[in-house]
Structure 1
Amino acid sequence: MADHENFYTRPPVDVSGGKCPFSGGLGDEFNPFEDPYLSNPWSFLEKARREEPIFYSPLINHWVVTRYDDVRRVLGDPESFSNRMSQSPVKPWPKEAIEIFEARGFPLIPNLNNSDPPEHTKLRAFMRGAFTPRKLKWLEQPTRDFFNEAIDDLQGKQSADIVKEVFHDTPARVLFKMLGIPDEDIAMVKGWSEGRALLTWGRLSDEEIVAQIPSFCDYLQYCFDRVDALEANPGEDYISELIQQWHAEKPEGITKQNIAVMLFGLLMAGHDTTTNLSGNTVRALLTHREQWELLCQDPSLIPNAVEEGLRYEGSVIAWRRVTTRDVEIAGVEVPANSMVLVVLGSANRDRSHFSDPDTFDIRRENARDHLSFSFGPHFCMGSPLARLEMKVYLEELTRRIPSLRMVPGQKPDYLPNTSHRGSSTLLVEWDRIEPR
């Protein structure tokens, strides 16, 4: 093992002293892993913003922050709210799982998602070429081609599960082209990503955690092996470019292991989130039929519709920080070393910042004020790619299938976890598909 602290197996600090001194109120009601919150968190979060904007949850050992201004403050202050625990499991792994994981001896190094300045600043500078305008321009046509191929596969049908048949693979094909991952690995990596979400942000039983660990290890090993393969045989992809940049610049403190862990992070952040966002946004548009019709009539509204989709039901509903000192949030004293769950989705529906926040409105003037891509030094590097993909998807869907409508009577299913939100299914139907 590396000589640094392992961020997957270290337990979170328990500030309760085993006595749950902060229990009571909404903290005892909060359960992000089950209904009614899992299906519809919005009514609970509205009550929290109004009555108890920060509360302690004994279930997950986190302080939960719900108001826009407080969430923005936490995200923007890395000196008081460290990001170092964001990849650590919400539920600590049992001893048997830790032993299996540590036996593999992965040389894990904190990455963008779980480091603080100055290390985070150094890593971000090293990755400066990830989402440049030139790279986005290079990706736009493949994005459009991949999406149209998925629509073409629907020809001859008049109904489909659009998440499974269109949104599942397309974001992965785009990202994998950028990262130098073969198309044939899509199903494997998507399966690994779902397991990783449950291991990190879910609340599996101890037996389920132990069962998932081998696949999680295979996912990590794949990333280390892929970097080795691209170093030996570079392609026209970003990871090959990053390896060549590393050899040429020899940046202090950056190792090849950093690149493998970066790949591990990008593979999770860059496609599952877009799959979920695509399904969430199209569901919102078809549920609010007048908004879909408006978009079909006026495609110039698409960029703002993307922002409203991110605000209304983004694919990352919450993220985590840990306090570095005693702090006050919304009048409540939070001890040092406390875990904090910042509920981005709640901030995005705070009526103190957004008028009629539960209304889906693609003309909303301040839709881009959402916090779905975080805020401050950890603002999502991949946001330009997510915005590009969503813009292309909505352009092609409204152009080629304007009669698209949702099959009535279906209920979305959501993965039981604190942070990632998206249904694995969305049944739709249509009258005809226009040619490319």
Structure 2
Amino acid sequence: MTSATRRTDTGAGGCPFNASAERPMAPTGCPVSPRAAAFDPFERPYQLDPAEALRWSREQEPVFYSPRLGYWVVSRYDDIKAIFRDNLTFSPSIALEKITPASAAAQAVLERYDYGMNRTLVNEDEPAHMARRRELLEAFTPEALEAHAPMVRRLVRDKLDAIVDCGRADLVAEMFWEVPLTVALHFLGVPEEDMEQLRRFSVAHTLNTWGRPSPAQQVEVAEGVGKFWQYAGQVLKKMQDQPHGHGWMYDMIAKNRQKPDVVTDNYLHSMMMAIIVAAHETTALATANAFRQLLSRPAVWAELCANPELIPAAAEECLRHSGSVVAWRRIAIRDAEVGGVTIPEGGRILMVTASANHDPAHFENPDELDIYRDNAVDHLTFGYGSHQCMGKNLGRMEMRIFLEEFTRRLPHLELEEQEFTFLPNTSFRGPEALWVRWEPTMNPERRDPAVRSAQRDFPVGAPSRQDIAREMVVAKVQATAEGVLQIALEDPHGGRVPDWSPGSHVDLIVGDYVRKYSLCGELDDPYWLQIAVLREPQGRGGSAWIHEHLEPGQTLRLRGPKNHFRLDESAPHYVLIAGGIGITPIIAMADRLKRLGKSYALHYAGRSRASMAFIERLERDHGEALRLYPKAEGARLDLAGLLAEPHEATLLYACGPERLLTALESSAAHWPDGSLHVEHFSSEGTLFDPATEHAFEVQLTDSELTLSVPPDRTLLQSLRAAGVDVPSDCEEGLCGSCQVEVVEGEVDHRDKVLTAAERAGQDRLMSCCSRAKGKKLVLAL
């Protein structure tokens, strides 16, 4: 919901903005806000940092009409992901449409070259899209891509050999521009003698489609695009005449002969040109962005050099933080609501994925480049859904090999001071030059020649969240109640710890033991992360080990911070409810609400005062709002009485034992939907027993696939085995990350996330634990 939709209707037609003669109007007749009217993606702020340029939009007006562009601009993560998922309402047909209409002179140039770029995977609608995509997927499987790794390594190493003793270089000119293009051409199977000519033509296509060239530039660019089209056709004809070569285009030539109605002649020509551009520029620019961001943070670069196992995570975080794909386009084929705003039929949409990747509602501390971020893989740089980039894993492979070679051979690399420039366009971003320097006498391979070839390889595909963990040092351990230890953790190098928000937790790793603990320290403490650990006699042993062995100075590993229990700060009043150790996320929420000047009440129940953590701090900081219910003193939290009268302007947040949360859900059943927010400690009841489960079938509407889920496999595991990307985190039914939309079928819900009303709606499920009650489910994937 936008901020505008929460205001009182003040303008004509219910618009939040008052009409005036000076204000431009959106196609819906609503006056455009001043900031929306001023937005221009070709001006310097957006070109330098599109996420920062749209911060105001994410915070205030996440869907707005841009009169200068003639597009509806969408800036938040959930809204953009929803558009990607619904390619029937939001057609990709304009994805490659020129954002600046061609001049008559430029159009004449293209006609002279018989330019006929047609639909490709990027911009074609269903059902043609999936029919073709299925024919093209085989070469992009992880197994198939593994075969290209030696070629990529050889190209990168040869280029690095050429400059390793120079001491200074523009990495874009020397490596990042050429290697990805050469990889793309090798992948396609383009004859060696034609590679150089195709390299020269590639850049014109980007400016032609996504840029704002002047009339004179349009003619020049059209010449380049026309020559690119013409030459690509000549190379394709040569390959068709010699159909026994190796490469993706030869596979497609064979498909063309087998299924000419699916893989047509024009489709071959269009895809060849499109793949060259897509595989080349996106990877080249993404690699330049990654090195710029990492080298501008020397401590992060040093950490990556010391811990090369973090390279896959670092590459993914760079794709999120500063990806090369800034935006994608769609057109609404019917009136449709996005983020509380109606986009009319025919409305053109600019989805700024760079902005979505900095949305704090999805990424904790989103503006920080955090190579330990374990949900960076959720970024939208590759798109999402059935139109997600097929070549994403090839791009990942190239970025990782670049990083692995440089961190091993030139760990002393430094970024020079320079002014970065970018090719002006709406959708692709990366520096045109990247000057670096190093001292050749310090090159490790001068002391040990084996360094040059001592490579580390990584599995093809997204990085595993389970492999991403940061080291922290125990700074302080103290009792905060009977059986409860408060533990302060700090960076081993004395650096700042990651920012976090109320409701955040970390996954603490102690040997083979992993347990989630809510952060409960001061929100503005930049050097400590604090947790509280209850000793659980009936637990798995981790809490006992912490209580018996943890001491200051010890090193631990943890994942996060991450937040699946986020505080909505928009309500007038809050009721916070905690039971036992459930006070840990609740105290952080109370601290935040007090700082915001919000109205709140805090109810805290426990066995006895001695066993209730943080009582002194709670009484000091939240005394007027605090109500304590120590059972040993006969105090009882009467949930039914407390929640007897529902209030639409009040939000309820609670954490504690399962029996408390179960009673709370029952007592708040008559409150408005969305009022109650809870966090569960236990996944009891969410896991499945293969001995008692039954197999069922899953039909995926977006992917046009039908899968079988056997009794010994979760739905999430089956989806991933079929190559369908579904984000997840806890995989215990506690966090809600793996939610999937249900189109048809009855669900056996086993999660701890959905409310009773949401379960009854049968329109969503958590794929890590829930299953079909019957024989079939239809899912929007």
Give the 3-state SS of the residue equivalent to 2:163 in structure 1.
Answer: coil
Displacement of 1:37 in angstroms is: 2.2
Change in Cα spacing, 1:91 to 1:26, as seen in structure 2 (3 Å) is same
Kept in 1, the 8 Å contact 2:323–2:381? The answer is yes
Aligned residues: 420
Choose which of 236, 240, 253 in structure 1 pairs with 2:262: 253
Alignment of 1:173-212 (within 5 A): 173-183=182-192, 185-186=194-195, 188-212=197-221
Corresponding residue number in structure 1 for 2:405: 396
Alignment of 1:410-425 (within 5 A): 410-425=418-433
Q: Deviations over 1:177-214 (max 9, x none)?
A: 11122456555434422221111111112222122212
Corresponding residue number in structure 2 for 1:9: none
Displacement of 1:230 in angstroms is: 0.4
Corresponding residue number in structure 2 for 1:215: 224
Choose which of 39, 48, 70 in structure 1 pairs with 2:57: 48
Change in Cα spacing, 1:187 to 1:415, as seen in structure 2 (3 Å) is farther
1:429 correspondence with 2:437: yes
The residue type paired with residue 412 of structure 1 is: F
Give the 3-state SS of the residue equivalent to 1:93 in structure 2.
Answer: coil
Which one has a larger percent helix, Structure 1 or Structure 2? 1
Corresponding residue number in structure 1 for 2:586: none
Corresponding residue number in structure 1 for 2:279: 270
Corresponding residue number in structure 1 for 2:103: 94
Displacement of 1:35 in angstroms is: 1.1
Corresponding residue number in structure 1 for 2:383: 374
Change in Cα spacing, 1:21 to 1:226, as seen in structure 2 (3 Å) is farther
Task: For 2:141 and 2:227, locate their aligned partners in 1 and report how far apart those are by CA, in whole Å.
Answer: 31
Kept in 2, the 8 Å contact 1:169–1:186? The answer is no
The residue type paired with residue 342 of structure 1 is: M
Give the 3-state SS of the residue equivalent to 2:147 in structure 1.
Answer: helix
Displacement of 1:165 in angstroms is: 0.5
Greater shift in the superposed pair: 33-42 or 183-192: 183-192
Kept in 2, the 8 Å contact 1:26–1:52? The answer is no
Kept in 2, the 8 Å contact 1:20–1:58? The answer is no
Change in Cα spacing, 1:48 to 1:60, as seen in structure 2 (3 Å) is same
Task: For 1:209 and 1:272, locate their aligned partners in 2 and report how far apart those are by CA, in whole Å.
Answer: 20
Kept in 2, the 8 Å contact 1:26–1:55? The answer is no
Displacement of 1:138 in angstroms is: 1.5
Change in Cα spacing, 1:253 to 1:241, as seen in structure 2 (3 Å) is closer
Alignment of 1:135-150 (within 5 A): 135-150=144-159
Greater shift in the superposed pair: 269-278 or 107-116: 107-116
Task: For 1:72 and 1:329, locate their aligned partners in 2 and report how far apart those are by CA, in whole Å.
Answer: 11
The residue type paired with residue 290 of structure 2 is: T
Corresponding residue number in structure 2 for 1:84: 93
Choose which of 319, 322, 330 in structure 2 pairs with 1:313: 322
Give the 3-state SS of the residue equivalent to 1:270 in structure 2.
Answer: helix
Displacement of 1:119 in angstroms is: 0.8
Which one has a larger percent strand, Structure 1 or Structure 2? 2
Change in Cα spacing, 1:375 to 1:48, as seen in structure 2 (3 Å) is same
Give the 3-state SS of the residue equivalent to 2:122 in structure 1.
Answer: helix
The residue type paired with residue 37 of structure 2 is: D
Displacement of 1:79 in angstroms is: 1.1
The residue type paired with residue 163 of structure 1 is: V
1:105 correspondence with 2:117: no
Choose which of 142, 146, 151 in structure 2 pairs with 1:133: 142
Q: Deviations over 1:16-67 (max 9, x none)?
A: 7999865332222212112122113333211110011111111111100000
Corresponding residue number in structure 1 for 2:247: 237
The residue type paired with residue 429 of structure 1 is: R
Change in Cα spacing, 1:17 to 1:100, as seen in structure 2 (3 Å) is farther
Give the 3-state SS of the residue equivalent to 2:337 in structure 1.
Answer: strand
1:60 correspondence with 2:30: no
Kept in 1, the 8 Å contact 2:256–2:262? The answer is no
Change in Cα spacing, 1:22 to 1:318, as seen in structure 2 (3 Å) is farther
Task: For 2:54 and 2:317, locate their aligned partners in 1 and report how far apart those are by CA, in whole Å.
Answer: 19
Change in Cα spacing, 1:195 to 1:23, as seen in structure 2 (3 Å) is farther
Displacement of 1:334 in angstroms is: 1.1
Change in Cα spacing, 1:50 to 1:83, as seen in structure 2 (3 Å) is same
Task: For 1:430 and 1:284, locate their aligned partners in 2 and report how far apart those are by CA, in whole Å.
Answer: 17
The residue type paired with residue 429 of structure 2 is: R
Give the 3-state SS of the residue equivalent to 2:139 in structure 1.
Answer: coil
Task: For 2:96 and 2:350, locate their aligned partners in 1 and report how far apart those are by CA, in whole Å.
Answer: 13
Choose which of 304, 309, 313 in structure 1 pairs with 2:313: 304
Gaps of 5+ in 2: 1-23, 446-451, 454-781
Task: For 2:117 and 2:208, locate their aligned partners in 1 and report how far apart those are by CA, in whole Å.
Answer: 17
Change in Cα spacing, 1:192 to 1:232, as seen in structure 2 (3 Å) is same
Task: For 1:304 and 1:331, locate their aligned partners in 2 and report how far apart those are by CA, in whole Å.
Answer: 34
Corresponding residue number in structure 2 for 1:11: none
Query: What is the TM-score with the length of structure 2 in the denominator?
Result: 0.52
Kept in 1, the 8 Å contact 2:113–2:227? The answer is no
**Bigger RCO of structures 1 and 2 (CA < 8 A, at least 6 apart):** 1
Task: For 2:415 and 2:67, locate their aligned partners in 1 and report how far apart those are by CA, in whole Å.
Answer: 39
Greater shift in the superposed pair: 158-167 or 99-108: 99-108
Give the 3-state SS of the residue equivalent to 1:112 in structure 2.
Answer: coil
Corresponding residue number in structure 2 for 1:285: 294
Kept in 2, the 8 Å contact 1:276–1:422? The answer is yes
The residue type paired with residue 361 of structure 1 is: D
Task: For 1:25 and 1:16, locate their aligned partners in 2 and report how far apart those are by CA, in whole Å.
Answer: 11
Kept in 2, the 8 Å contact 1:224–1:257? The answer is no
Give the 3-state SS of the residue equivalent to 1:263 in structure 2.
Answer: helix
Corresponding residue number in structure 2 for 1:383: 392
The residue type paired with residue 431 of structure 1 is: E
Task: For 2:165 and 2:36, locate their aligned partners in 1 and report how far apart those are by CA, in whole Å.
Answer: 51
Kept in 2, the 8 Å contact 1:48–1:54? The answer is yes
Corresponding residue number in structure 1 for 2:581: none
Query: What is the TM-score with the length of structure 1 in the denominator?
Result: 0.92
Task: For 2:135 and 2:30, locate their aligned partners in 1 and report how far apart those are by CA, in whole Å.
Answer: 44
Kept in 2, the 8 Å contact 1:16–1:22? The answer is yes
Change in Cα spacing, 1:211 to 1:21, as seen in structure 2 (3 Å) is farther
Displacement of 1:94 in angstroms is: 1.5
Change in Cα spacing, 1:261 to 1:202, as seen in structure 2 (3 Å) is same
Task: For 2:196 and 2:48, locate their aligned partners in 1 and report how far apart those are by CA, in whole Å.
Answer: 26
Task: For 1:190 and 1:232, locate their aligned partners in 2 and report how far apart those are by CA, in whole Å.
Answer: 22
Change in Cα spacing, 1:45 to 1:178, as seen in structure 2 (3 Å) is same
Kept in 2, the 8 Å contact 1:111–1:123? The answer is no
The residue type paired with residue 27 of structure 1 is: A
Greater shift in the superposed pair: 301-310 or 203-212: 203-212
Displacement of 1:130 in angstroms is: 2.7
Q: Deviations over 1:394-430 (max 9, x none)?
A: 11111111111111x2121111100000011111111
Give the 3-state SS of the residue equivalent to 1:358 in structure 2.
Answer: coil
Greater shift in the superposed pair: 412-421 or 154-163: 154-163
Displacement of 1:300 in angstroms is: 0.9
Task: For 1:424 and 1:190, locate their aligned partners in 2 and report how far apart those are by CA, in whole Å.
Answer: 16
The residue type paired with residue 157 of structure 2 is: N
1:224 correspondence with 2:238: no
